Structure formats: structure tokens, C-alpha cells
Amino acid sequence: MMHHPARHIGHHAMMMMTHSMRSGAGVAFIFLTIIIGLSLANLTVTPVELEMITVEELQDSSAKFIGVALATATLRASGGDDNSDSLTSRMETGDLVDLGMWARYLVVENPMLLSITVLLLGVVLPLLLPLGSFTVISGDVQHRTVRYLLPRTTRSSILLGRWLGSLILSWALILFLISSVVIYLSIMIPSESLEDLIPWGGRCFLALFFLTIPYVSLGILCSATFSAPMVALLAAIGATVGIPLLSLSLQEAWEPLGNLLYLLPWGYSHQLLSPSMENFFEASAYCLGHAALFLTLALLKFRRADL
């Protein structure tokens, strides 16, 4: 009896989520994502909560730091003098004024502690997401168990279903993390009101929602490419860490090489928290484009694989 492919994909997604929670890698992924996410939030909140620093002082210092980080991410830090003081002055009066305003939008116009937490998550999540997807295909290929599924379903359904399952699990974890931080901030930090936190929390979730898609797809691509799960994990994390390091160091030698950053969403992912909704939609579209590319490559690889 033939079933609709969408039902097969949904079934594989459900099975993938159930299996993931029962596997060692899945438990490690869920546990590490939540613990590291809450630790990042704790790192942000502690100085304010223990009154080691005032909200205004943190706003001022974090606006400068975020401005410098944005200048680096947009490959505009190397213009002008090299020291960070000149970067600060360029953000106040020079060619980086837009970045200074962007940083102020994140920490002054919106709940600062949530913005900083989400920015940190945006850096750390790409390293954690491969943990949730590296065994999705390679685990079954290594043990040659995937062949038992093939008489009843298609390779494309397996891959797409497991990709969807990984995504839903990652989104659920991110939603849990952001909700926990929003609830905690609204109760414990009087300067962060629930009326501001809820819409900004929604926007932050959307940003991480789109950021997750290409990195999970990259994990699936590595999982479909390498039959040994640990090699797939190393490849996914290696690419995620290596590309920004490589591009930023090569940029010193020849500036156009900095554009290697765009091989992964590192080059534009910060635009997901841009004040301009146009930039947000553009960055979301790029995320989907990257994901489509990785997923197509993974499909091609998996359909031709000797299972």
C-alpha cells in the first residue's frame, strides 16, 4: 500500500525525535544545550543581579563590545586604525555610526540582558547543533540498519524526515531556553518588564529559529557524507569553527578573502537581530538558501550511497 510522502516524512521525524531522546548523543545534546544556554544567561545576568555593576554601566560597556563584534562580523573592523578605541570613535561619529546605533537598539531600546544572552547563543549554538544531527544518517549507515527501512520507504523521505525531526527538537530546546530566561528576567530583574520581554523574546526566538536551519542542515550533510558518526561530528564542528577563523585570518592578508565567512551563515546571521525588518527577512532568506543547498547536497549524497 502506497502512502503519501508527507506522511512518511512526518513518521520519520517522529521516530527520529523519539530515538534521539533515547540515544546517548541525543541526551548529551539536550543536556548540554540547556546547561550551556542557561550558563550563558547566568553569565549575563549575574553582574546585574549581584549588583556588581549597574544596568547603565553594563549598557554602556556592552554597547561598545557589541559594536566591535558587529564591525568584525560585517568585515568592517579593519578600516581605519587597528585599535578598538578608534573603532569606538568610528561608531560614535565615523563610518560605523550605523553599527553604534544597531548596538544601542539591542541594549538600550530592547531588553539588554535578553539581547546579550541571545547574541551569545547565536555564537555558541552553531557549535552545539551538530551534536543533535551527527548520528542522524551516519549512525544507521555505519551499522547497516538503514537497509531494513528501504523496502517500505524512500531515501529522500528518511533524510527529510530526520532533518525535520532534528529541527523540531532543536527549536523546542531553544524555545525552552528563551522562555526560561524571559520568565526569570521578568521575575528577578525589575528593569526588564514583561511587556517588553515577550515581544523581544519572540523576535529573538525567530532569529534563532532561522539560524538553526542551516546549521542543522550542515550537520545532516556531514552525517550523510561520512559513515562514521564521530568523523561526521568532527567535520561539522570543524567547518563551523574553521571557516570564521580562516576567513578572519586570511582577511589580514587580502581583504576579499574575508568573504569566505559567507560560506556559512556567520557572515550575515547577525542581521537576524537587525533593527531593519528588511535586513531580517533578507538574512532569513539566506539562511533558508544555505539550508536548501546543504540539504540538496545531502540528498544527492544519500541517494547514491552504498547502504
Closer to other proteins by CB, 18 or 296: give it.
18
User: What is residue 53's three-state secondary structure?
Assistant: coil
Among 65, 105, 171, 184, binds other proteins (CB under 8 A): 184
Closer to other proteins by CB, 44 or 72: give it.
44
Among 6, 28, 198, 292, binds other proteins (CB under 8 A): 28
Site stretch for other proteins (CB under 8 A), options 35-43, 75-83, 165-173, 220-228: 35-43
Which residues lie below 8 Å from residue 166, measured CB to CB, with a gap of 6+? 16, 20, 132, 133, 136, 216, 219, 220
Closer to other proteins by CB, 187 or 285: give it.
187
Question: Would you call 217 exposed, middle or buried from its count of C-beta atoms within 10 A (0-12, 13-18, 19+)?
Answer: buried
Verify binding: residue 26, other proteins, rule CB under 8 A. yes
Verify binding: residue 194, other proteins, rule CB under 8 A. no
Closest CA to 291 of 236, 226, 232, 216: 216
Site stretch for other proteins (CB under 8 A), options 23-31, 198-206, 213-221, 244-252: 23-31
Verify binding: residue 98, other proteins, rule CB under 8 A. no
Q: How far is the CB of 110 from other proteins (least distance, A)?
A: 19
Q: How far is the CB of 168 from other proteins (least distance, A)?
A: 16
Closer to other proteins by CB, 173 or 291: give it.
173
Verify binding: residue 41, other proteins, rule CB under 8 A. yes
Tell me the three cell numbers of residue 292: 536548501
Closer to other proteins by CB, 46 or 54: give it.
46
Tell me the three cell numbers of residue 89: 570613535
Verify binding: residue 179, other proteins, rule CB under 8 A. no
Instruction: Tell me the C-alpha distance between 156 and 158, whole Å.
Output: 5
Q: How far is the CB of 34 from other proteins (least distance, A)?
A: 6
Instruction: Tell me the C-alpha distance between 129 and 127, whole Å.
Output: 6
Instruction: Tell me the C-alpha distance between 234 and 267, whole Å.
Output: 22
Residue where the block lists cell 512518511: 8
Verify binding: residue 30, other proteins, rule CB under 8 A. yes
Among 3, 7, 143, 147, binds other proteins (CB under 8 A): 143
User: What is residue 23's three-state secondary structure?
Assistant: coil
Verify binding: residue 50, other proteins, rule CB under 8 A. yes
Verify binding: residue 147, other proteins, rule CB under 8 A. no
* Burial track 259-272 (b if 16+ CB lie within 10 A, e otherwise): ebbeebbbbbbbbb
The residue count for binding other proteins (CB under 8 A) is: 25
Helices marked H in the chain — which ranges? Answer: 5-22, 24-49, 55-73, 84-92, 97-107, 112-133, 138-143, 155-188, 194-225, 229-253, 277-304
Verify binding: residue 295, other proteins, rule CB under 8 A. no
Instruction: Tell me the C-alpha distance between 133 and 104, whole Å.
Output: 36
Verify binding: residue 175, other proteins, rule CB under 8 A. no
Closest CA to 130 of 301, 280, 300, 264: 264
Verify binding: residue 70, other proteins, rule CB under 8 A. no
Among 23, 249, 276, 296, binds other proteins (CB under 8 A): 23
Instruction: Tell me the C-alpha distance between 220 and 20, whole Å.
Output: 14
Among 3, 6, 7, 27, binds other proteins (CB under 8 A): 27
Binding site for other proteins (CB under 8 A): 21-28, 30-31, 34-35, 38-39, 41-42, 45-46, 49-50, 143, 180-181, 184, 188
